Structure 1
């Protein structure tokens, strides 16, 4: 086929065949009738046929297409059905036995075919595709190319507009369709650069049969029972052709770019997956990105052309926005960066620079000792958030130079100062340069022969044959364009000196890059250590994956970790946690750190007391008395005794022992779906199957669970359901008639179930029934108390009751092991018959001092008020999601203990368990830590530090909306 024929085809609109004519064709030639549903296509006419014999696809294309090309497609489908596990459509023969009909419809010659319909959907409309799906596209492409390598047919030798071999000619021909001169120049320049980089590779690219349209339009998916996307098949073999193998992956990757949210590196999982099943040659890997850019140029040009000649084609018109987005993302980064990213993604490296031949850049300082300043995440120079101060890194370098004379930063050390709280995007924390403090006037010499350039920003750039060096803070008397030999003077240091080494002249190379781009940029901007004569590279950090492997090899597996591949977290500040690459994650689940992370008051209190004394509470010291007195001031009137313990589990375990000792009974009533701890006693009364799948079958006979008073999804619903739930308690009391009742334990607000309030009046009635039988009432305030609920300091205040025993822990010590049991004297002293009690760390001087400091800071920083005001704003914003997203069923709780419950159906309340887990995983990608709770794990358990700001709340809810909009 000639290029003239190709140009003719590019100018063709879709066939002018009406739905009525299509139905007539179906009836006459296939004996089918039914409903037709138009399917999008750029130049063909496609209908889904819903008939009595099932679903099919009717394809109508213009007679301009040769029969041998269409026969090649049919032969390819048959070949793949026999040689590839990926499902493809089956061609249905017409009544006359032919699988391809050439007919005249309305005076126009057309080719007609009928194929199987593959059930499922395309992913074109999704804004975001997860890593697994992206990798799935790459794996599919590799598997299909592997299968098609053995296929051949005369119809594959065709001149096709999408064939990358014709991209340059087609681009030149179609450029006039873009009216805007600026856009036209952008497309022309991108296409020219792509062809320039491809030219030396073309003769070494393998050729074979390829699908050449494995895109989000033509791959069919369905969600499985776990709501994960599963591949169903590949459709549309209209672009089947024999050409460069790598073209197939370039088409797939280009299609992924309109789901990239501006980041072209999203294609890397697809590249890795393809390479794993169908290894690519180095030349193919180098050609991939230029082919993607060339494809992007052809897409926008063909799209504009098709809309101009066929304005009624909604498919082409709607696709045009996607095509321009693909072009925008494809041209947003340098070619060299993406080529390096692709190579490093599959474990290949660029050839080394000849760094051993460098002359010293600063010859007068060779052999001098530099102070290398730690600016990383764990740097001892950073505390109490001082890294947020503008210019902190430069100030630290200046201070070090004032003491030591010479100072330098480390190349490749992730900078804490560049972290970005409440930000969905990775921060650019990786330095591709070294900053030095050396005496002004120090001589600078050319480390290699090259041409000097003076940039508009005042920097100098020396471009050599293999490498380039950029300098900021240098002055020179030489003119731009001056040619220098190695070792020739190029200027002097005029201030703070910044040095960046580049593999080739890359004026657009940044000084900092994001962690995900670091491997590629490192390949292009290696360390300048060799030309500085300075060992200034960052020490390699233990990566998160290796650390997790070490943890799993020694730390008992039952002690779970968040996420399958958790980041390594070593620092925190206020309501954020920071990984070793300097990324800040909004902490929305850490109710232990009520004051936030890294609070200087906690650090100083612990340091001071440790320097004085730390022992156990059997010694006589002031802190234990002072802290106990302060706790009693917070307790209801009549409570006058405090036990200090290590944890919430220990507090609840002790409360059970107190109930036994005081009542003389052993039977305890607990509430279903509750969690109280991990000790033997606390676990016995815990019934949450999310925490222990065998919870209901493994309760000891002295524990009597009652129906969970869940007003949203429980057996009885609504605010008036208290009497119905109280009947469950009455039934259990009847079952233990004749035995002494020890008591009743319950969270006054249903914490583990997502912060659900109990129905009004429930605890008042239950407490009355329990006390009438001689039992004691235990309020488990470990999670919901201590001011977290905002309007109430204690959760039981919402119910208007006073328990006999209060247990607490979690935020009492802001992370220090500390819990407490508060009760009345007669209950406390009942335990004396069983011996004395003490807790090693619970009442220690350090724990007591920290406990008092927590109370001080809660008051001084107004954190109870913050929980009320910001927490109120938080709940209002979450409740607004109910009207917008059907998946949001309810918002529970108050203050900084909230639960967002996700359901698939608001009538049946079917829990959206898998969607909730995917939501948490996606939020982690966006810089937020969140986990599910509840027996169905369909509730977001929102319990952040009480320092959480309105800004953080808005960021969290905005990201929830973003993920809901993307689709779960």
Structure 2
């Protein structure tokens, strides 16, 4: 009887009702007129109704559906609405009824009208952030919590989606699969799920559940910050009394479509549900078998529906992503998912007792074991040597005696670059370097399974021990007693313990899977007889809290929850779990991170002396001479400081001293530093929201010559912007004020590297000099070869300033800045007193500064910035040509900007979309941050060793996110 009912329910096509008939129904029973739009459904028929009385949904189903079941839905909607859960309201017909019994063309039908909830489902959204998954879990918990007190006779129904019937339904529907391999896989999954579920079924709480809280049946809308917010829950067609945990299993199964092949990505939904509506251990253990069954029933039901209703486009559209759900559910062992689910709910998976076991290596006799650090901070790792194949094994073999790697350590050698997925870096076992011929014995009774040459597994009643590196080994299937010889090692031995005897674990796990895998693959230290465990990593969140508690919070950090970074190499930063992030924003490390020349120069000079510049040493003269070699002709004096702020602050003092005036022109939307003087001339509201209201009377901002979004557009706008310069100068002239000068970035750095309109600086400089002022080129961000086409930014404008300021990349991270000028300007300051910087121009800084110039020359980094930069700009321009959101590509070389706009005509800045894009790029292993007054520009300024491969990965990733939808 049960099977026949399930077959009947799973074998009906959708009812037939034309638009004209639907219009007639609405007019006669609801006094409604409007336009209709068909909405998808597997076995019902739904129309969206747009009328002058509002927007509604007309739902039509077969007359064979029991009225009491539909009445249960209506009662549940009213019940939930009364408890504040966002659900649609059922509208009464003109007769006062909620449910209409009709006959159309001989078809018995049932119809009802519900309010339409505006918004959209997220079914087709390419990527769901963890926050959205968590909100779906929270919503599911709220609905279940409310329905716990709901009862109705219509809940007692036989429904194909009720997981209590899966073990009957799956074998019945399996023959619909034509592919024998797929059919066998389906049956194996069902059997495995049944075995895990069977001991738990009598322990699972039962109540009324929605049973379809999915990405398709929850309506969402974006808020002002482009974040998805829940608007309501729809489609109560699967309302039934069954296991409470079934509701969450349906939600989790739906989220697998958005998990990008990794089922552990749905865990935020589990954690969020459990926080609102706590689950029992039995429910947590039952969750994944139920998800597997749900995935199987989804696929089989759709295949069955297509067989009987091949024109059902809704089913046809869904079946591909239902197969994706099934394949993702099968992507990892069920034991791993159970461990991960328990951990997500704050529970510890069961452990095993190894206290009665014999030691695996009885002949070591307590010999000292060298613990070899292979982690991210290992002193053995330097200058990228970890990239060499076999690095870990060679390091172990180089130890003078027995040596072991560390269980649970995140190994640097396992990192990878320019790839979106996490690298598998966490060691789930231990590697040993031993004397060849070292004997092994069985720690417990079990059966030996031969895996390959020198490899095998000892399977005991409760755990398995995987070994690799045996010179002699038992035969396949041989029963071993505790203490019996297994064989001997060839010198290298890999050891891995697993508490689930049905799976073969990987030797390395990704960081996001590591906790669950470590629960299944605990440390073999008891079997080995010595400590082989890695020290736990510092808690990144706790460390961030310590920073916030002691480090002034105005000193911001990237990202709300930033990765813990302690190592870098070339154009990558590496977190403590061994993930390498493509660094696309670090314009300080021009040579790249971890450059061996920098380490050598600083170490050598520190070993000699490091003092202040009032002492006499060669490095300061040599470095000053090198800086003058790259400066324009006529520049003959150098000041050395520690930062761009100090350089610009000193430039202001020089301008004051030389001109005798105080008034300075600065350009809007610019940032020049944090000191009192440089903050005064900085006008970027992104860096200081009060910038425009807090300028002192000696600062005179002129209109930003932004050729993309400024008042005047295009390359021929210089004369228009110069009118504002004339106006400010005329005002100073009228008041008899002596102009000190003008400071300007020759390329608009904070706006993403926008070039100034041709001729702008030539004319502006002339006007300033005509009044006795000096022209300051702030090259802190854009100079020193980063632009690729030019060494200095002012070269693009065909001008020579009077003062050049520089910092950032000069020291590749060493605090180092410079002011380069002419003798008469430098000596004007001397007339007011001498200048001194305690650390500016120290021997260490000077040696590093010279080394930076030499490496940039020797490694061709200026040429690389030009050549790869041209390629980079072209690829960004291709994005602009393809995607309306990508409004413009700015800059050159390795100082580029991609500006995002919502409208190409109004140039409305896509601020929120830009931040979402940056956060998503971080998920893909790329560091990127926004810039500009509207924070809608990707500020692309990577180390100058960046390769074409990295450029391709970056642009491909941006394109991927744009395709996902922002």
Partners in 2 of 1:355 and 1:557 — Cα distance? 48
1:228-275 deviation per Cα after TM superposition (whole angstroms, max 9, x unaligned): 101000000000000000000000000001111100011100000000
2:650 is equivalent to residue 654 of structure 1: yes
Aligned partner of 1:81 in structure 2 is 81
User: 1:360·1:366 contact (CA, 8 Å) conserved in 2?
Assistant: no
User: 2:438·2:491 contact (CA, 8 Å) conserved in 1?
Assistant: no
Among 924, 927, 930, the alignment partner of 1:926 is 924
Aligned partner of 2:146 in structure 1 is 147
Aligned partner of 2:677 in structure 1 is 681
Among 595, 608, 626, the alignment partner of 2:622 is 626
Q: How does 1:537-576 map to 2 (within 5 A)?
A: 537-576=533-572
1:133-176 deviation per Cα after TM superposition (whole angstroms, max 9, x unaligned): 00011000001000000001000000000000111111111111
Partners in 1 of 2:573 and 2:633 — Cα distance? 39
Aligned partner of 1:814 in structure 2 is 812
Aligned partner of 2:167 in structure 1 is 168
Aligned partner of 2:756 in structure 1 is 758
Partners in 2 of 1:338 and 1:735 — Cα distance? 72
In terms of mean alpha carbon deviation, does 325-334 or 357-366 score higher?
357-366
For residue 457 of structure 1, report the CA deviation from its aligned partner.
Answer: 5.4
Partners in 2 of 1:724 and 1:476 — Cα distance? 85
SS for the counterpart of 2:588 is: coil
SS for the counterpart of 1:356 is: coil
Aligned partner of 1:690 in structure 2 is 686
Partners in 2 of 1:350 and 1:848 — Cα distance? 57
Aligned partner of 2:793 in structure 1 is 795
Partners in 2 of 1:789 and 1:480 — Cα distance? 65
Partners in 1 of 2:375 and 2:183 — Cα distance? 45
Partners in 2 of 1:196 and 1:418 — Cα distance? 36
Aligned partner of 2:523 in structure 1 is 527
For residue 603 of structure 1, report the CA deviation from its aligned partner.
Answer: 0.7
User: 2:462·2:500 contact (CA, 8 Å) conserved in 1?
Assistant: yes
User: 2:445·2:460 contact (CA, 8 Å) conserved in 1?
Assistant: yes
2:310 is equivalent to residue 315 of structure 1: no
For residue 475 of structure 1, report the CA deviation from its aligned partner.
Answer: 4.0
Aligned partner of 1:447 in structure 2 is 443
User: 1:473·1:495 contact (CA, 8 Å) conserved in 2?
Assistant: yes
For residue 615 of structure 1, report the CA deviation from its aligned partner.
Answer: 0.9
2:903 is equivalent to residue 900 of structure 1: no
Aligned partner of 2:849 in structure 1 is 851
Aligned partner of 2:459 in structure 1 is 463
1:11-42 deviation per Cα after TM superposition (whole angstroms, max 9, x unaligned): 10000111111111111111111100000000
Aligned partner of 2:21 in structure 1 is 21
User: 1:3·1:159 contact (CA, 8 Å) conserved in 2?
Assistant: no
Aligned partner of 1:711 in structure 2 is 707
2:579 is equivalent to residue 583 of structure 1: yes
User: 2:812·2:852 contact (CA, 8 Å) conserved in 1?
Assistant: yes
Aligned partner of 1:134 in structure 2 is 133
2:351 is equivalent to residue 352 of structure 1: yes
User: 1:778·1:807 contact (CA, 8 Å) conserved in 2?
Assistant: yes
1:40-91 deviation per Cα after TM superposition (whole angstroms, max 9, x unaligned): 00000000000111100000000111101000000110111112x2210100
Partners in 1 of 2:878 and 2:154 — Cα distance? 58
SS for the counterpart of 2:360 is: coil
Aligned partner of 1:864 in structure 2 is 862
For residue 477 of structure 1, report the CA deviation from its aligned partner.
Answer: 5.2
1:889-913 deviation per Cα after TM superposition (whole angstroms, max 9, x unaligned): 0010000000100001111111111
Q: How does 1:49-198 map to 2 (within 5 A)?
A: 49-83=49-83, 85-198=84-197
Q: How does 1:229-268 map to 2 (within 5 A)?
A: 229-268=228-267
Partners in 1 of 2:473 and 2:522 — Cα distance? 28
User: 1:641·1:824 contact (CA, 8 Å) conserved in 2?
Assistant: yes
Aligned partner of 1:48 in structure 2 is 48
Q: How does 1:393-408 map to 2 (within 5 A)?
A: 393-400=392-399, 403=400, 405-408=401-404
SS for the counterpart of 1:329 is: helix
Partners in 2 of 1:293 and 1:93 — Cα distance? 40
1:529-553 deviation per Cα after TM superposition (whole angstroms, max 9, x unaligned): 1110111100112121111011111
For residue 506 of structure 1, report the CA deviation from its aligned partner.
Answer: 4.0
For residue 442 of structure 1, report the CA deviation from its aligned partner.
Answer: 1.5
Q: How does 1:369-408 map to 2 (within 5 A)?
A: 369-400=368-399, 403=400, 405-408=401-404
User: 2:140·2:248 contact (CA, 8 Å) conserved in 1?
Assistant: yes
Aligned partner of 2:599 in structure 1 is 603
SS for the counterpart of 1:455 is: strand
Aligned partner of 1:823 in structure 2 is 821
1:857-910 deviation per Cα after TM superposition (whole angstroms, max 9, x unaligned): 111011111001000000000000012211100010000000100001111111
2:879 is equivalent to residue 881 of structure 1: yes
Partners in 2 of 1:169 and 1:550 — Cα distance? 55
User: 2:72·2:155 contact (CA, 8 Å) conserved in 1?
Assistant: yes
User: 1:452·1:480 contact (CA, 8 Å) conserved in 2?
Assistant: yes
User: 1:755·1:894 contact (CA, 8 Å) conserved in 2?
Assistant: yes
The Cα RMSD (Å) is: 0.9
Q: How does 1:469-484 map to 2 (within 5 A)?
A: 469-476=465-472, 478-484=474-480
User: TM-score, structure 2 length as denominator?
Assistant: 0.99
SS for the counterpart of 2:331 is: coil
1:461-488 deviation per Cα after TM superposition (whole angstroms, max 9, x unaligned): 1111221111111244533222222222
Partners in 2 of 1:388 and 1:465 — Cα distance? 40
Query: Any stretches of 5+ residues in structure 2 without a counterpart?
Result: none
SS for the counterpart of 2:750 is: coil
Aligned partner of 1:421 in structure 2 is 417
User: 1:543·1:568 contact (CA, 8 Å) conserved in 2?
Assistant: no
Partners in 2 of 1:595 and 1:396 — Cα distance? 28
Partners in 2 of 1:611 and 1:475 — Cα distance? 50
Partners in 1 of 2:475 and 2:945 — Cα distance? 56
SS for the counterpart of 2:449 is: strand
For residue 490 of structure 1, report the CA deviation from its aligned partner.
Answer: 1.9
Partners in 1 of 2:521 and 2:741 — Cα distance? 69
1:755-779 deviation per Cα after TM superposition (whole angstroms, max 9, x unaligned): 0100110001100110011100000
2:830 is equivalent to residue 832 of structure 1: yes
Partners in 2 of 1:439 and 1:599 — Cα distance? 37
Partners in 1 of 2:216 and 2:350 — Cα distance? 38
For residue 359 of structure 1, report the CA deviation from its aligned partner.
Answer: 1.1
SS for the counterpart of 1:891 is: strand
Aligned partner of 1:38 in structure 2 is 38
1:95-128 deviation per Cα after TM superposition (whole angstroms, max 9, x unaligned): 1110100100011000011000000000001111
User: 1:670·1:745 contact (CA, 8 Å) conserved in 2?
Assistant: yes
SS for the counterpart of 1:696 is: helix
User: 1:9·1:64 contact (CA, 8 Å) conserved in 2?
Assistant: no
1:296-329 deviation per Cα after TM superposition (whole angstroms, max 9, x unaligned): 1101100101111111111000000010000010
For residue 841 of structure 1, report the CA deviation from its aligned partner.
Answer: 2.0
Distance change >3 Å, CA 457–CA 922, structure 1 → 2: farther
Aligned partner of 2:720 in structure 1 is 724
For residue 494 of structure 1, report the CA deviation from its aligned partner.
Answer: 2.5
User: 1:931·1:940 contact (CA, 8 Å) conserved in 2?
Assistant: yes
User: 2:333·2:503 contact (CA, 8 Å) conserved in 1?
Assistant: no
For residue 495 of structure 1, report the CA deviation from its aligned partner.
Answer: 3.1
User: 2:473·2:488 contact (CA, 8 Å) conserved in 1?
Assistant: no
2:8 is equivalent to residue 8 of structure 1: yes
Aligned partner of 1:742 in structure 2 is 740
User: 2:372·2:406 contact (CA, 8 Å) conserved in 1?
Assistant: yes
SS for the counterpart of 1:71 is: helix
Partners in 1 of 2:874 and 2:365 — Cα distance? 63
For residue 352 of structure 1, report the CA deviation from its aligned partner.
Answer: 2.2
2:636 is equivalent to residue 637 of structure 1: no
User: 1:646·1:840 contact (CA, 8 Å) conserved in 2?
Assistant: no
User: 1:375·1:413 contact (CA, 8 Å) conserved in 2?
Assistant: yes
SS for the counterpart of 1:292 is: helix
